[in-house]
Amino acid sequence: MTYLHAIIIAIVEGITEFLPISSTAHMILTATLLGIPQSSFVKLFEICIQFGAILAVIYLYHRRFLSLNIKFLLKLLYAVIPALIFGYFFNDHIESIMEKPSIILLILGGGGILFLFIENIYQSPALQMLMN
């Protein structure tokens, strides 16, 4: 991995971290497109980049984290619990999937289609009437 590769992967992480898409998957796909083989060093680099992005999010929203707003903290807890459970039980399976760019592309494409489908449902007039 060259310095240019590292900069490109860091930029991809920075952009995708604040979007409702998988920054990890996009970093892996970027590394694949750049011809960087997945090695222990590359995985460690990606973890360090993500840790930096997480610290940036915490810094950006530190007032909300420290405000002890129960509603916010409960929402945060509800969002984290499923990831912790799935990560605990399916860690090996998830790691094997994250090493295969073709599967990552299929999952991202399916997730994108699902987002479009859900967005279309929530914009339907009948549902808008029920929600109001």
Model confidence over 28-82: pLDDT tens digits? 899 999 999 888 888 899 889 889 888 888 888 888 778 778 888 888 888 889 9
What domain count does the chain have?
1
Please state, rounded to an integer, the average pLDDT across all residues of the chain.
84
- Would you state the pLDDT for residue 127? 57
Q: Is residue 125 situated within a structural domain?
A: yes
Q: Could you tell me the residue range of the domain that residue 112 belongs to?
A: 100-132
Amino acid (1-letter code) at residue 21: I
How crowded is residue 53: how many other Cβ atoms within 10 Å of its Cβ?
Answer: 17
Q: Is residue 110 situated within a structural domain?
A: yes
With CA atoms as reference, report the closest residue to 8 among 37, 31, 39, 38. 31
The pTM for the full model equals: 0.69
How sure is the predictor about 85, in pLDDT bands with cuts at 50, 70 and 90?
very high
Per residue in 92-103, is it b (16+ CB within 10 Å) or e — as a string? eeeeeebeeeee
- Would you state the pLDDT for residue 115? 83
Q: Is residue 121 situated within a structural domain?
A: yes
